[in-house]
Structure 1
Amino acid sequence: MRHHLHVDWRAGLSLVGAILAFLSLAFVVPIGVALAYGGEDLWVFVVSMAVTAGFGLGLRQLDPDPNPGAREAFLVVALTWLLAAVFGALPYVLAGNGTIASPINALFESMSGFTTTGATVMGDISFDTHSRAMMMWRQLTQWLGGMGIIVLAVAILSQMAVGGAQLMEAETPGPGVSKLTPHIAETARVLWIAYIGFTAFYITLLYGLHLGGYAPNMDFYNALAHGFTTLPTGGFSPEARSMEAFSPAVQWLAIPFMFVAGVNFVLWWHVISGDRFAILRDNEFRSYLGAVSVLTVIGTILLFVSSLETPETGMVGGNLERSARYAAFQIASLTNSTGYANMDFNEWNGSAQALLLFAMFIGGSTGSTGGGIKVLRWLVIIKSLRRELFTAIHPEAVRPVRMNGKPLDEDAIRGIYAFTLLFLALFFVGFLLLAADASRVAGFDPDTIALVSASIATIGNIGPGFGIVGPMGGYLEFPVTSKLLMIFYMWIGRLEIFPVLVLLTTAYWRS
């Protein structure tokens, strides 16, 4: 008996091609930087732009008038992120500089960029090895991936407006972004306007600190680079020691913007539009604010009573400003998966490190650029568990789980449980596979906390972990097989697992 595909793969690939063709325009930014700094690596980005555009336009010819449905949307979203990382790796390979010149390392770095993970295999983060244009491309990949390539495509490519709703839902299959306007393409534009606005404001403030003498090394290049990586909760920095390289004024400024990046951008749009209290009425925002605040206070206390002192930072224990700054910065960074560091938290004591590991599992808000499980899911799980305890005492009671005063559909609650359990299961499996792979490589013996944090940092799109994958380290030493696993984890983690895994089922293609 013959089986026929029930997926319009030509329409799907055509739309992927259209997005890639548009994405090729992003190479204009590093081309401009290359021209501004003497033309170094200029040919690399010109060739990358031509190859990406040519491949995209070639795919586009498969179906000049695509009309994707919900089924095709999964294919479009999954392949777009994969191919964006593949073509985003071209400049690293063509330039041939440093550890990211090898194809696997280049793909790792590119996937980490587009998924806003921030994990790196770049062994030498400096302008001695890499051009300023190459480093800016590295930062730009995170900014493009932050709000979502698909959201950008829906906003700009008119031919995608018909299937725009399905594409946005496939990209964020969890509790998603509500429509702000009657048209999904207009909603996408609204989200990008808010995203661009916050980015421009942050860059202006960073450069303002430089002009005011409060941040001597935060020149315009650095301000632009960190603007491209803070709002998307990315964490790539052209500085080897991340935000530790900058003054306390820069670090304090970054904290509220990292927090902002973890908030649902829909809420920010309501605030900007005049509904100033919309954000305070939202259950998820209040929970997110509460979690970050409580963890920051606990972290500040743990650092203040410690004896922590480093050559780079001086005495932390007993110094309230430093304790508060380091705690607030790292909690804001790791809670929503930004991944920046203002000191090497490998040097923190066990209790403080456990606090950071706990923060990694929280995640940002839905509709934000943050990764992880997401605050809303944890909130629904807690509310549903409280309901189970109540109904155990009052079996006849009918008590729906409510969010913002509205009852949640039971199917949505089951979906949240399914995602959370799958996320945790994949995290544990990832840890076991990384441990098994490490055991077969002579001379490579990462400690358990490094393997645990590497698994959660990649599937949660967080970036740095502990041990060798700490904020001042990286993933370079892992064997190729482990890197391939982590590339896969970053990919499925950015798309919240289901849009990728559903492609691996027979039912998707045949039923």
Structure 2
Amino acid sequence: MRLRVKWLTTASLVGTVLKYIAAAMVVPLAVSFIYMEDVWVFAVSAAATGLLAFALERLDPDPDMGPAEALLLVVVSWLAVALVGTIPYLLAGYGTPSALAHPVNALFESMSGFTTTGATVMGEISTDRHSHALMLWRQLTQWLGGMGIIVLMVAILPELAVNGAQLMKTEAPGPDLQKLTPRITQTARVLWIVYFGFTALLAVLLYALHLGGFAPNMTAYNAVAHAFSTLPTGGFSPEADSIAAFSAAVQWVIIPFMVVAGTNFALFWHLLDGDVRTLLNDPEFRVYAGAIAILTAILATLLYGGGAPPQELGGTTAGNTENALRQAAFQIGSLLNSTGFATSDFAQWDPAAQTLLLFTMFIGGSAGSTGGGIKVIRWIVVIKALRRELFRTARPSAIKPIRLGGYVIDEDVVRGITAFTLLYMVLFGVATVFFVLDSLRVGYELSTLEAMGASIATLGNIGPGFGSLGPFGSYTEFPFETKLMMVFLMWIGRLEIVPVLAVFTGAFWKR
């Protein structure tokens, strides 16, 4: 049987992708020289990744990529970068009691980073326990994965321009990719320029708070590290207490950037071009902003009324308007678009507040953003489709197309969104049951809420869950089989499920 996919071509291009991952390892290598920690770890990691990339590139010196190879490239590249991303963790943990010394744990941490999930098995998180270079690599993996590794490749590699639109469509979050310029390579560059600009702006603002005396522990290192994980909606932090380790001023500064990260980045390009109307009239952005405002108001009311017990981290919210509003705005802004930062241990909040947060996790960010989850645009279409079915039940002969922003949505798009949402819910349910059964097998106590939180947190690339998996908890104690299932969920969740599953079908490979 002849295959319809030229897998050597894909493998060669995966080598090209890994070449740039090896180049990215120079950043933590430079940091390792500054602090004189783990120099050999990143020198060996960069060399090993570079050699692997060189070997793969030689498999097909003149790659000619078609649609099938483009789809396979996206799917395999994300798995490949996560695999090579384990090398620094394994080398740094070698000969130590660190959890990252185990290959499954290292793969979990790496996949969680590149997919911007933010779940961790690291255990003790601090630059006292792990090197500054390793912690920055952890942050950098999230930044690289946020806007998209393949989008970056399309922006800088001319050989990918022919299939650039399909590559970006496969990788980009959401059902639609807006072409901002006549050439797809220019569109990719625009997206990365906007992404880089917001990252740099946040880093400068955070360090300015430090210089102004408003954030004593927001050093230049911390400012860059947290900018690297805020814009990709990642959630990793070099601090064990996440953003709760910093002042209220830092938290207020980060909130709008989390909202920005969950917004379609194409809208900001229009905004920078002086077109404010496109942003304000965008139906997805209005629903997204409205959902954040409404959910924040509800949660702030619950917290103000005593929905959160007094905590050392986050302080008391009962009767404290500023703190209740800040905690609510931060947690909603963080969990709705899958950032995963926290300023309070919401695993200790009352059931009403936790239920609201669980609901928030299912919404997701906007299409074309770095946010995870189902995405706001899909929920809009699903709700409109349900309304149409009710209307057509009452009037069977009526023809009622689904419109969004004045445009009629193609029926194939409606069916695709409906199928994706259903598949997402099915995977969420199956994963929840699997987590419970596998935990029972090894005698690990896991409540239903914790299992549901772990399922949506990994599939939706959110990170923290509930109970022991709360924002200051860890996934370390899960059995390795469960962790591998979570790695799979993070992988397919970042690539919107369907492309990965399509590669596993016989129809993809057979002529």
1:364 equivalent in alignment to 2:365: yes
Counterpart residue identity of residue 493, structure 2 = G
Match of 2:73 in 1: 76
Q: Deviations over 1:36-72 (max 9, x none)?
A: 11x2101111111111111112111122222222211
- Please name the residue that 2:25 is paired with: 27
Pairs within 5 Å for 1:24-63 = 24-37=22-35, 39-63=36-60
| 1:229-240 equivalence runs, <5 A | 229-240=229-240
Match of 2:414 in 1: 413
| 1:403 CA displacement | 1.4
Report 1:454-469 matches (<5 A). 454-469=454-469
Report the count of equivalent residues: 507
8 Å CA contact 2:154–2:188 kept in 1: the answer is yes
1:225 aligned residue: 225
Q: Map of 1:174-253 to 2, 5 A cutoff?
A: 174-253=174-253
| Structure 1 range deviating more: 202-211 or 52-61 | 52-61
Q: Distance in 2 between matches of 1:253 and 1:490?
A: 28
Read off the aligned partner of 1:57 and give its amino acid letter. Answer: F
Indicate if the aligned counterparts of 1:173 and 1:498 stay in contact, CA closer than 8 A.
Answer: no
CA distance in 2 between partners of 1:137 and 1:105 (Å): 16
Partner Cα distance (1:383, 1:416) in 2 = 12
Deviation at 1:173, TM superposition (A): 7.3
Matches within 5 A, 1:33-432: 33-37=31-35, 39-96=36-93, 97=96, 98-172=98-172, 174-306=174-306, 308-432=309-433
Asked whether the equivalents of residues 459 and 493 of structure 1 are also in contact (C-alpha less than 8 Å), the reply is yes
SS in 1 for 2:2: coil
Residues of 1 paired with 2:328 and 2:254: CA distance?
Answer: 13
Distance 1:370 1:41 in 2: 32
- AA partner of residue 180 (structure 1): L
Asked if the contact 1:78–1:495 (Cα under 8 Å) also holds between the matched residues in 2, the reply is yes
SS in 2 for 1:434: helix
For each residue in 1:372-398, what CA deviation from the matched residue of structure 2 results, as whole angstroms up to 9, or x when unmatched? 000000000111111222222232322
CA distance in 1, matches of 2:55, 2:272: 41
Task: Say which of 6, 9, 24 aligns to 1:8.
Answer: 6
Post-superposition offset of 1:174: 4.2
Root-mean-square deviation (CA, aligned residues, Å) is 1.0
TM-score (norm 2): 0.98
8 Å contact kept, 2:348–2:467: no
Q: Quote the Cα distance in structure 2 between the aligned partners of 1:69 and 1:298.
A: 50
What's the CA shift for 1:287? 0.5
After the TM superposition, which of the residue ranges 173-182 and 43-52 deviates more from structure 2? 173-182
Give the deviation of 1:168 after TM superposition: 1.0
Q: Please say if residues 174 and 416 of structure 1, whose CA atoms lie closer than 8 Å, have aligned partners that are also in contact.
A: no
Distance 1:333 1:51, change over 3 A: same
**Is the deviation greater in 90-99 or in 481-490?**
90-99
Q: Deviations over 1:59-104 (max 9, x none)?
A: 1112222222221112101111101011111001011152112111
Q: Is the 8 A contact 2:66 2:163 kept in 1?
A: yes
Report the AA paired with residue 279 of structure 2.
Answer: I
Q: Distance in 2 between matches of 1:282 and 1:373?
A: 18
Task: State how far apart, in whole Å, the 2-side matches of 1:196 and 1:89 are.
Answer: 25
Unaligned runs of 5+ in 1: none
The aligned amino acid for 2:421 is: T
Cα deviation per residue 1:418-476 (whole Å; 9 max; x = unaligned)? 0000011001000011111000113x102111111001100000000001111010100
Alignment partners' CA distance in 2, 1:159 and 1:45: 29
Judged with a 3 Å threshold, the aligned counterparts in structure 2 of structure 1 residues 173 and 198 are, in CA distance, closer, same or farther, namely closer
| Cα pair 1:65 1:159 within 8 Å, conserved | no
Q: Report the identity percentage.
A: 58
Distance 2:42 2:460 in 1: 30
Aligned equivalents of 1:174 and 1:303: distance in 2?
Answer: 32
Unmatched runs of 5 consecutive residues or more in structure 2: none
Question: Can you list the C-alpha shifts for 1:126-176, whole angstroms capped at 9, x where unaligned?
Answer: 122210000000000000000000000000112111221121122137412
1:337 and 1:371 in contact (8 A); partners too: yes
Name the aligned partner's letter for residue 306 of structure 1: G
Deviations 1:293-328 (A, max 9, x none): 100000000000116212333321111111101110
TM-score (norm 1): 0.98
Whole-angstrom distance in 2 between the partners of 1:67 and 1:289: 43
Q: Compute the displacement of 1:341 (Å).
A: 0.3
Judge conservation of contact 1:176–1:366 (CA < 8 Å) in 2. Answer: yes
Aligned to 1:502: 502
Cα distance in 1, alignment partners of residues 304 and 216 from structure 2: 28
Shift of 1:8: 1.2
Q: Secondary structure at the match of 1:277?
A: helix
Q: Relative to structure 2, which stretch is displaced further, 21-30 or 301-310?
A: 301-310
Q: Structure 2: how far apart are the matches of 1:216 and 1:40?
A: 24
Question: What CA distance in whole angstroms lies between the structure 2 residues aligned with 1:391 and 1:313?
Answer: 50
Partner Cα separation in structure 2 for residue 368 and residue 387 of structure 1: 28
On the 8 A contact 1:177/1:266 being kept in 2, the answer is no
Task: Measure the CA separation in 2 of the matches of 1:179 and 1:65.
Answer: 28
Tell me the distance in 2 between the aligned counterparts of 1:430 and 1:257. Answer: 31
CA distance in 1: counterparts of 2:8 and 2:267, whole angstroms: 37
SS in 2 for 1:491: helix
CA distance in 2, matches of 1:40, 1:13: 34
Distance in 2 of aligned mates of 1:326 and 1:318: 13
On the 8 A contact 1:67/1:163 being kept in 2, the answer is: no
CA distance in 1, matches of 2:40, 2:488: 30
Contact 1:70 1:170 in 2 (8 A): no
Once the two structures are overlaid, the 10-residue window that deviates more, 9-18 or 421-430, is 9-18
Distance 2:360 2:100 in 1: 30
CA contact (8 A) 1:262 1:364 kept: yes
